[in-house]
Chain A
Amino acid sequence: MAQHKGELNFLSRSDGSALYSIDDTVILASVHGPSDVKVSNRKHDGLHLDVCFSPRTGSSNIGEKTIEAIITHTIKQCLLAHLHPRAGVTLTIQEMQSGGLDLSVSINASCLALLDAGIQMSTTFAAVTCCLTSDDVCIVEPSEIELKESKAVLTYVFDGTKMDVITTHQEGAFDCKQLLKCLAKCKTVAKDV
């Protein structure tokens, strides 16, 4: 498996922050909250979550919005939102270095940042990416070169307690058997993460 590194409480001004890296991909996640939120965004029964992913260079585009949507979906399932009605949590993710594994590193970093901020969660979560090469070999946590040559890239997010799948994200062409095979492999890896 590739080398993982993480550091908490990285930024002094944020309520919670985490710098996470897998091999060459380095991502910084910063959490502010629970705090005030605009009247238009206020929810009477729970927390409002705002996720923002900023790429290394350039402005936010549709690719970044997809990542934001996936992360929002993942966190909403784990966060105990009903404990903070009419409040908001802002999660900002900054891509520092790109090695191709942006999605899984962002998810892992956001989990650590939320923990560092002390926001109540029902469970922690871990993300694993794997890729399928043209000869049907499943490589977990591939490098950038392996990613480019693969025919499909799959990302799974597992929860920390029951190891159930919370979120999946796939790109590329593959069939059912390959999906299940990759899923099983990722599950074993996720336990370590």
Chain B
Amino acid sequence: MAAPHFEMGKGGEIIDEIQQILDRNIKESRCLDVESLCIMAEESVWQFKVDVTVLNHGGNLGDACNLAAVAALRHFHRPDVTVEEDGRVTIHTHEEKELIPTFLKKIPVCLTFALFEVEDDCITLIDPTETEERVMSGKLVVGLNPHGEITSLLFPGKLCLQKHHIMSCVSHTFLEAKSIAETVMSLVEDDLEKRRSSIKVKGFLNCLRSDSVYKKQLLRERIKNVPVMKVKSDVKVKEESMEETGSEETCKEIVAESLENEQKEAYVDTSSDEEFSQDLLNKTLPEIKKEKKKKVKSKTKKNKIKLETGCRQ
């Protein structure tokens, strides 16, 4: 599914590479406290199986898979068990006893550098997109945790690098790693909070956005920053479900419209989805108004956001 050249079931070298990254970063780094998974010594133990499915190959699969696996492990809660004296093991359901979260000692983070050899110089890019990956000369994958320990180092390809170059790359990742780890953990905590207070979690319905939609959103934000419209009151952004016969309006049109009228409610088209591979880092989950009617989203129609704007005279 991820890209046209991938076939279902068949591996290829990219699977081996991702498998290697995940193995080294998660299994061999011992970020998970495996001793706590033991139920009875030499008898029974909990086994964790992580299935990573790539939906869209937008570049930098290793980082994304690593993030996804770590977030999933942190999010997972296992049932509680009691071991009787005669050796019987009882597994409690979540109604009986609270589920135990997975304890991650250190959060492994992975960062990929794309290296381009231009004459004598070597240009380094972090987090390459798919097009950049296709033309790069070499790749450096650094896995580490926020404590400063390097869990893995992968340097495939034919490119040669100077030692100081590698060291500068690695030191750069230390700064990034902390922020990434914190973002992931806070997002997982948010979701867990919501579940605890029994707000029904929408799951995938709102989390995911597509590439093109994300780029349009970036464009829109740039247009918004142009000081055409003065917003007096606080901008309340509420997400409304779309109407089937709604028309597509560009931001500029709306801005022009709102300048003519005072206190007009302007409808701005934006989307609320993000590309899966970049998603978890920058997303803010807007509140969704639940509607009973059926709404169908199509390519040309996006979510409409109600903006209450005060226009200057």
In the complex, what's the smallest C-beta–C-beta distance from A109 to chain B, in angstroms? 12
The proximity string for B residues 95-133 relative to A, scoring 1 for CB distances below 8 Å and 0 otherwise, is 000000000000000000000000000000000001000
Instruction: Tell me the bound Cα distance from A3 to B289 in angstroms.
Output: 13
Number of B residues contacting the other chain (C-beta, 8 Å)? Answer: 33
Instruction: Tell me the bound Cα distance from A11 to B53 in angstroms.
Output: 14
In the complex, what's the smallest C-beta–C-beta distance from B68 to chain A, in angstroms? 13
A1 B294 Cβ-Cβ under 8 A: yes
Whether B298 sits at the interface, judged by CB under 8 Å, is yes
Whether B211 sits at the interface, judged by CB under 8 Å, is yes
Please tell me which one of the listed residues A8, A13, A35 contacts residue B2 in the complex, with CB atoms under 8 A apart.
A13
B53 A58 Cβ-Cβ under 8 A: no
Minimal Cβ-Cβ distance residue in A for B57: A13
A94 B204 Cβ-Cβ under 8 A: no
A12 B294 Cβ-Cβ under 8 A: no
B1 A5 Cβ-Cβ under 8 A: no
Of A25-33, A130-138, A148-156, the one contacting chain B is A25-33
Given known contacts A92-B1, A96-B203, A11 and B294 CB-to-CB distance under 8 angstroms: no
Given known contacts A5-B296, A6-B297, A12-B56, A21 and B211 CB-to-CB distance under 8 angstroms: no
Given known contacts A9-B210, A192-B294, A21 and B4 CB-to-CB distance under 8 angstroms: no
Please tell me which one of the listed residues B2, B204, B298, B299 contacts residue A96 in the complex, with CB atoms under 8 A apart.
B204
Whether A97 sits at the interface, judged by CB under 8 Å, is yes
Instruction: Tell me the bound Cα distance from A94 to B208 in angstroms.
Output: 14
Q: What residues of A have a CB within 8 angstroms of the CB of B292 in the complex?
A: 3
B296 A94 Cβ-Cβ under 8 A: no
Please tell me which one of the listed residues A15, A30, A116 contacts residue B299 in the complex, with CB atoms under 8 A apart.
A116
The proximity string for A residues 149-185 relative to B, scoring 1 for CB distances below 8 Å and 0 otherwise, is 0000000000000000000000000000000000000
B294 A4 Cβ-Cβ under 8 A: yes
Instruction: Tell me the bound Cα distance from A100 to B203 in angstroms.
Output: 15
B56 A7 Cβ-Cβ under 8 A: no
Whether B275 sits at the interface, judged by CB under 8 Å, is yes
In the complex, what's the smallest C-beta–C-beta distance from A41 to chain B, in angstroms? 12
B55 A97 Cβ-Cβ under 8 A: no
Instruction: Tell me the bound Cα distance from A147 to B211 in angstroms.
Output: 36
Minimal Cβ-Cβ distance residue in A for B300: A8
Q: What residues of B have a CB within 8 angstroms of the CB of A94 in the complex?
A: 1, 53, 55
B205 A26 Cβ-Cβ under 8 A: yes
Whether A54 sits at the interface, judged by CB under 8 Å, is yes
Q: What residues of B have a CB within 8 angstroms of the CB of A1 in the complex?
A: 294
Whether A40 sits at the interface, judged by CB under 8 Å, is no
B298 A8 Cβ-Cβ under 8 A: yes
Given known contacts A10-B210, A94-B55, A96-B204, A30 and B273 CB-to-CB distance under 8 angstroms: no
In the complex, what's the smallest C-beta–C-beta distance from B139 to chain A, in angstroms? 20
In the complex, what's the smallest C-beta–C-beta distance from A114 to chain B, in angstroms? 14
Please tell me which one of the listed residues A3, A10, A24, A54 contacts residue B291 in the complex, with CB atoms under 8 A apart.
A3
Q: Which of A41-62 contact B (CB under 8 A)?
A: 52, 54, 56-58
In the complex, what's the smallest C-beta–C-beta distance from B291 to chain A, in angstroms? 7
Q: Which of B195-234 contact A (CB under 8 A)?
A: 203-205, 208, 210-213
In the complex, what's the smallest C-beta–C-beta distance from A11 to chain B, in angstroms? 4
For A12, A14, A35, the residue with the greatest tally of chain B CB atoms inside 10 Å of its CB is A12
Instruction: Tell me the bound Cα distance from A33 to B204 in angstroms.
Output: 26
Q: What residues of A have a CB within 8 angstroms of the CB of B1 in the complex?
A: 11, 14, 28, 30, 54, 92, 94
Whether A101 sits at the interface, judged by CB under 8 Å, is no
Q: What residues of B have a CB within 8 angstroms of the CB of A192 in the complex?
A: 294
Other than the known A13-B3, A28-B1, A192-B294, what 13 A-B pairs have Cβ atoms closer than 8 Å?
A3-B291, A3-B295, A7-B297, A7-B298, A8-B299, A9-B299, A10-B210, A12-B58, A12-B211, A12-B212, A15-B4, A30-B1, A92-B1
4 tightest A-B contacts by CB?
A12-B211, A92-B1, A7-B297, A11-B56
